[in-house]
């Protein structure tokens, strides 16, 4: 519908909608004893397998749900506009819970990255090329990650730069170990 000056200035407008109907090839109607309580009806349906969004071709989140860390500034600005505040989120900021959660997530991410580097190159690579004991490989990669951009390079598949950083750090690491 094109909005003209007459339509725009009128007090009332009628818009006709056309119904859209999905047609099924076949419908079978049987007598059922549904109660209307979805949980009860599903339990009584005889279905043993749980269904999820993948079973029906619906996109959905497949990762691990993480607690959302509320921004302190937005939390306090919300107080000025609606006079409501999320007390639990405020407590988590004041108590340092969110700070610890951020730190834990950062350390978990770093651990997974270091583990991925070790898994990708293999323990023998580090032992033979950098003269590092088997039980010191993690410490070696951790130290390298603290002193270089090795994790960034690894995540970007810049393996030549990863090797350069490892070579550079190996000189420092082996001097400190001796």
Task: Identify the burial level of 78 via C-beta atoms within 10 angstroms of its C-beta, where 0-12 means exposed, 13-18 middle and 19 or more buried.
Answer: middle
C-alpha distances in angstroms, 81 versus 67, 102, 150?
A: 25, 28, 45
pTM given for the model: 0.55
Please identify every stretch of the chain with a pLDDT value under 70, giving residue numbers as ranges: 1, 30-31, 47-48, 76-84, 177-178
According to the model, what pLDDT value does residue 178 have? 57
> Which residues, other chains included, contact 84 with Cβ-Cβ below 8 Å and sequence gap of 6+?
78
Task: Identify the burial level of 117 via C-beta atoms within 10 angstroms of its C-beta, where 0-12 means exposed, 13-18 middle and 19 or more buried.
Answer: buried
Q: What are phi and psi of 63, to 5 degrees?
A: -85, -175
Cα-only R_g, the chain = 30
According to the model, what pLDDT value does residue 83 have? 60
Helices (H), 65-158: 72-82, 87-95, 97-121, 123-130, 137-147, 150-155
According to the model, what pLDDT value does residue 137 have? 93
According to the model, what pLDDT value does residue 142 have? 93
């Amino acid at each position: 519908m094109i909005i003209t000056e007459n339509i725009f200035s009128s007090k009332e407008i009628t818009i006709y909608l056309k119904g859209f109907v999905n047609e099924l090839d076949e419908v079978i109607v049987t007598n059922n004893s549904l109660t209307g309580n979805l949980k009860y009806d599903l339990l009584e349906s005889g279905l043993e397998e749980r269904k999820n969004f993948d079973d029906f071709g619906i996109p959905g989140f497949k990762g691990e749900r993480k607690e959302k860390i509320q921004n302190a500034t937005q939390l306090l600005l919300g107080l000025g506009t609606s006079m409501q505040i999320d007390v639990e989120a405020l407590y988590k900021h004041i108590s340092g819970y969110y700070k610890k959660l951020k730190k834990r997530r950062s350390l978990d991410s770093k651990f997974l990255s270091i583990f991925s580097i070790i898994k990708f190159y293999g323990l023998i690579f580090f032992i033979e090329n950098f003269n590092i004991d088997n039980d010191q490989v993690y410490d070696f990669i951790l130290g390298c990650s603290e002193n270089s951009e090795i994790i960034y390079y690894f995540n970007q598949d810049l393996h030549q730069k990863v090797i350069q950083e490892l070579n550079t750090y190996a000189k420092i690491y082996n001097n400190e170990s001796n």
